[in-house]
Amino acid sequence: MTATEEVPMGFGRMHRKEDARFLRGRGNYVDDVVLPGMLHGAVLRSPYAHAKILSVDTSAAEAHPKVRAVITGETLAGLDLAWMPTLSGDVQAVLATDKVRFQGQEVAFVVAEDRYSARDALELIDVEYEPLAPVVDARKALDAGAPVIRDDLEGRADNHIFDWETGDKARTDEVFANAEVVAVQDMLYPRVHPAPMETCGSVADMDPVTGKLTIWTTTQAPHAHRTVYALVAGLPEHKIRVISPDIGGGFGNKVGIYPGYVCSIVGSILTGKPVKWMEDRSENLMSTSFARDYHMHGEIASTKDGKILGVRVKVLADHGAFNGTAQPTKYPAGFFGVFTGSYDIEAAHAEVTGVYTNKAPGGVAYACSFRITEAVYLVERLVDVLAHDLGLDPAELRLRNLLRPEQFPYQSKTGWEYDSGDYPRALRLALDMVGYEKLREEQAKRREAGGEQLMGIGMAFFTEAVGAGPRKHMDILGLGMADGAELRVHPTGKAVLRLSVQSQGQGHETTFAQIVAEELGISPEDIDVVHGDTDQTPFGLGTYGSRSTPVSGAATAVVARKVRERAKIVAAAMLEVSADDLEWEKGRWFVKGDRAAGKSIQDIAMAAHSNLELPEGVEGHLDATCVYNPPNLTYPFGAYVCVVDVDAGTGQVKVRRFVAVDDCGVRINPMIVEGQVHGGLADGVGMALMQGMAFDEDGNHLGGSFMDYLLPTSMECPSWELGETVTPSPHHPIGAKGVGESATVGSPAAVVNAVLDALKPHGVRHADMPLTPAAVWCALQGRPIRTDLAIP
């Protein structure tokens, strides 16, 4: 289905406003930025996973005729910038001083007149290393005698980062002790990478006269970056302007601050010129935020007839060499606490232990909604393993245990209050759409007939938790997760909306205009949405965790309603009636009982700027601001069914069909929601079947380019089949929930469950992602695999 040519006055299908420039090659991405005198930076990176730095000789590089500066850890140490704080309250080396802790780590930064010369000069830097034994296998990170990675931290004698738990341990242990059936499964959610098409980069311009730093950068959270730069570099915050222009995809990769950004700033300070830094793909994959890397020991308890009673889990979280994980301060394992999923259970408990290894930092990224990908994968695999053990159909098992609509708002056993949901309806719709019974019949026939072609049907039912979040509980580095919005209606009735969130392709310029249109009756074409420039927009925490619609979408509706109320006062003055006598219909206030006597929002806007006499205390003009502190998260949900064909001879998996039913409450622009879901489903196919970043015993990164880190192409993706139900969020001003990450969260388990369903007759109960042909073939041979290590 396509959008209408007509622009809706509010919610509905509408072509995107941003497309006009992107289609013509007129977007403005960071690498498109060119400034007078601009220089180019490049990063020298560590070839070792773990090694002492004995010396760094930059003399030959400095002698290069086009090199303007060479920055080392020592240079930065002199500025007190060799280390920077991470979003997890740890520190990360900007440029290594003492030793390197992962392959690809930043060691030196060259500033030169052009990008080719900058790269040339990297080859001229001579670094002497003394290799150290690396920690590669997270499961051995806490062994006695394991090499200590973070000897920079005072008193640190091991690789332990944190222990965190949630749920009622005693009650859960009791439920498990008395349960008729307990299914246990270890599973790895392997290290993957969000790999946005555009890598990370920045152009830093420190004006030596005004003392103002302007930095164009690939950031999903421009305001948070500004504050962090102020705190780290000691620059006054009003002298820092962060501009996040068009961003070529983020997917969580562009939330944190990377050493390259800091180096471009220092490069600009040292040379007095703008400095551009743009990483290449291998740098992006090897050194910026990875995702997942959770080693999970899951247990699920039930009765013999399949009533699920409890879930218990222990997680070993590989965080790499620096704890740079992006999540609210009080949640070191993100929102993994929603691992009880969509089921009505008696007790649950989880323990998560984070460890350092000689790998790049990260963890929370790639549409994970703060670790909900891991939580959903765990519980949806466990339910399938339980179905396998009980000999029950996985759809039937889910239908018996899903939360019922009347249970909402539902208080989960780990303390989350799900806002709304009608789960059985969504699952039944998905099963109907795919023709579930017929497919099972086809599968039975195929199994009967035998042969190499195996058919599998898998499903996942997920509950997301997005829209972080209530500032009482949720902050990032002390910054509460409330977001601002400012709306100004010009005299002629056109409007500008300023937001703290930052689109990376999600269509905010279109959909946020639609929210205002819905509330005020001004055409979305007449509303400009401004974001990504900290000098022009209100403070807020940015776009990730599918939080834009829940938080800034709410702020937008609220600010538009404030404007509407002001318009009411102005209209009352214009019509010479009491404001209480006015009634609103989209686009105008009119006198109750006399529809003809009314004023349009455009008339009101002009009058608000005119010489019209307004009541005492009303300042005139038509604008408002709002900071929205959400009362709760939103909990979108979905039912996904995947059908695969597996060649038992080669291990090749072909996704035949994928049905996805999503419920994100009110849909502002269904066309855009569908596009978000399509993209996330492709992520699921990629993670389940192709993507993985393994390491060898020396800590060499084995997924460091698109030759090895495989992304799905048009050939691996089927034509997606989407369905929807609408269960509005009761606490959200327009009933809308986030949705951007739902498909990435929900789809991997559906694909994996489908592949393992195909392999079931061969006695395979579980195999870890990515289910590459080699991995599937090994599983069929009964061979164990460790997809995180090159040599298991």
Partner 1 sequence: MKVSIEVNGETVAEEVEDRTLLVHYLRENAGLTGTNIGCDTTSCGACTVLLDGESVKSCTVLAAQADGHRVTTVEGLAPGDGELHPVQRAFREQHGLQCGFCTPGMIMASVSLLAENPKPTREQVREGLEGNLCRCTGYHNIVNAVIEASGQEVDR
Q: What is the contact surface with partner 1 in residues (CB under 8 A)?
A: 2-3, 15-16, 18-27, 29, 31-32, 115-116, 195-199, 246-251, 280-282, 504-507, 671-672, 674-682, 705-707, 711, 713-715, 717, 719-720
Q: Which is nearer to partner 1, 249 or 470 (CB)?
A: 249
Q: Which helix (H) or strand (E) holds 624?
A: strand 622-628
Closest CA to 48 of 116, 140, 147, 189: 147
Q: Shortest Cβ distance from residue 204 to partner 1 (Å)?
A: 19
Q: What is the 3-state secondary structure of 296-360?
A: EEEEEEECCCCCEEEEEEEEEEECCCCCCCCCCCCCCCCCHHHCCCCECCCEEEEEEEEECCCCC
- The answer to whether 346 touches 382, Cβ cutoff 8 Å, is no
The one-letter code for the residue type at 345 is: I
Q: Shortest Cβ distance from residue 366 to partner 1 (Å)?
A: 10
Q: Which is nearer to partner 1, 246 or 788 (CB)?
A: 246
Q: Shortest Cβ distance from residue 171 to partner 1 (Å)?
A: 42
DSSP state of 32: G
Q: Which is nearer to partner 1, 375 or 743 (CB)?
A: 743
Around Cβ 324, how many Cβ atoms within 10 Å?
27
Q: Which is nearer to partner 1, 146 or 433 (CB)?
A: 433
Q: Which is nearer to partner 1, 198 or 384 (CB)?
A: 198
Q: What is each CA distance from 177 to 182, 296, 350, 461, 681, in whole angstroms?
A: 9, 21, 16, 27, 38
Q: Which helix (H) or strand (E) holds 640?
A: strand 637-647
> Which phi and psi angles does 281 have, rounded to 5°?
-60, -45
> Which phi and psi angles does 527 have, rounded to 5°?
-125, 120
Q: Which is nearer to partner 1, 11 or 416 (CB)?
A: 11
Q: Shortest Cβ distance from residue 341 to partner 1 (Å)?
A: 24
Q: How far is C-alpha 651 from the chain's CA centre?
A: 31
Q: Shortest Cβ distance from residue 200 to partner 1 (Å)?
A: 13
Nearest-angstrom CA–CA distance, 361 and 384: 32
Q: Which is nearer to partner 1, 469 or 505 (CB)?
A: 505
Q: Which is nearer to partner 1, 194 or 458 (CB)?
A: 194
Q: Which is nearer to partner 1, 626 or 751 (CB)?
A: 751
- The answer to whether 690 touches 651, Cβ cutoff 8 Å, is no
Angle CA 741–340–429, to nearest 5: 60
Q: What CA dihedral angle connects 661, 665, 668 and 669, to 10 degrees?
A: 0
What ranges in 159-318 are assigned the alpha helix state H?
169-178, 222-233, 259-271, 281-287
- The answer to whether 552 touches 537, Cβ cutoff 8 Å, is no
Q: Shortest Cβ distance from residue 627 to partner 1 (Å)?
A: 28
Q: Shortest Cβ distance from residue 273 to partner 1 (Å)?
A: 17
- The answer to whether 299 touches 315, Cβ cutoff 8 Å, is no
Name the maximum alpha-carbon separation found in the chain: 86
Q: Shortest Cβ distance from residue 432 to partner 1 (Å)?
A: 17
**Given the structure tokens 């400009």, which residue do they identify?**
528
Q: What is each CA distance from 24 to 21, 121, 507, 675, in whole angstroms?
A: 5, 36, 17, 20
Nearest-angstrom CA–CA distance, 166 and 350: 5
Q: Shortest Cβ distance from residue 671 to partner 1 (Å)?
A: 5
Q: Which is nearer to partner 1, 508 or 568 (CB)?
A: 508
Q: Shortest Cβ distance from residue 392 to partner 1 (Å)?
A: 32
Q: Which is nearer to partner 1, 337 or 746 (CB)?
A: 746
**Given the structure tokens 């999903």, which residue do they identify?**
220
Q: Shortest Cβ distance from residue 505 to partner 1 (Å)?
A: 3
Q: Shortest Cβ distance from residue 526 to partner 1 (Å)?
A: 19
Q: Which is nearer to partner 1, 197 or 444 (CB)?
A: 197
Q: Shortest Cβ distance from residue 283 to partner 1 (Å)?
A: 9
Contacts of 117 (CB under 8 A, 6+ apart): 40, 64, 66, 67
Instruction: Provide the edge-to-edge strand list for the sheet that holds 67-72.
Output: 67-72, 106-112, 39-45, 275-278, 201-206, 213-217, 240-243
Torsion sign over Cα 286, 287, 290, 295: positive
Residue 414: HSE in the Cβ half-sphere, 13 Å Cα cutoff: 26
Range 500-532 burial, b when 16+ CB lie within 10 A, else e: bbbbbbbbbbbbbbbbbbbbbbbbbebbebebb
Q: Which is nearer to partner 1, 666 or 717 (CB)?
A: 717
Q: Shortest Cβ distance from residue 438 to partner 1 (Å)?
A: 19
Q: Which is nearer to partner 1, 129 or 709 (CB)?
A: 709
Q: Which is nearer to partner 1, 209 or 715 (CB)?
A: 715
Helical packing angle, 423-434 and 436-449, nearest 10°: 50
Q: Which is nearer to partner 1, 98 or 114 (CB)?
A: 114
The one-letter code for the residue type at 19 is: D
Q: Retrieve residue 315's tokens.
A: 């997680």
Q: Shortest Cβ distance from residue 676 to partner 1 (Å)?
A: 8
Q: Shortest Cβ distance from residue 251 to partner 1 (Å)?
A: 7
Residue 182: HSE in the Cβ half-sphere, 13 Å Cα cutoff: 16
- The answer to whether 261 touches 287, Cβ cutoff 8 Å, is no
Q: Which is nearer to partner 1, 67 or 350 (CB)?
A: 67
Q: Which is nearer to partner 1, 193 or 588 (CB)?
A: 193
Q: Shortest Cβ distance from residue 403 to partner 1 (Å)?
A: 29
Q: Shortest Cβ distance from residue 101 to partner 1 (Å)?
A: 24
Q: How far is C-alpha 712 from the chain's CA centre?
A: 19
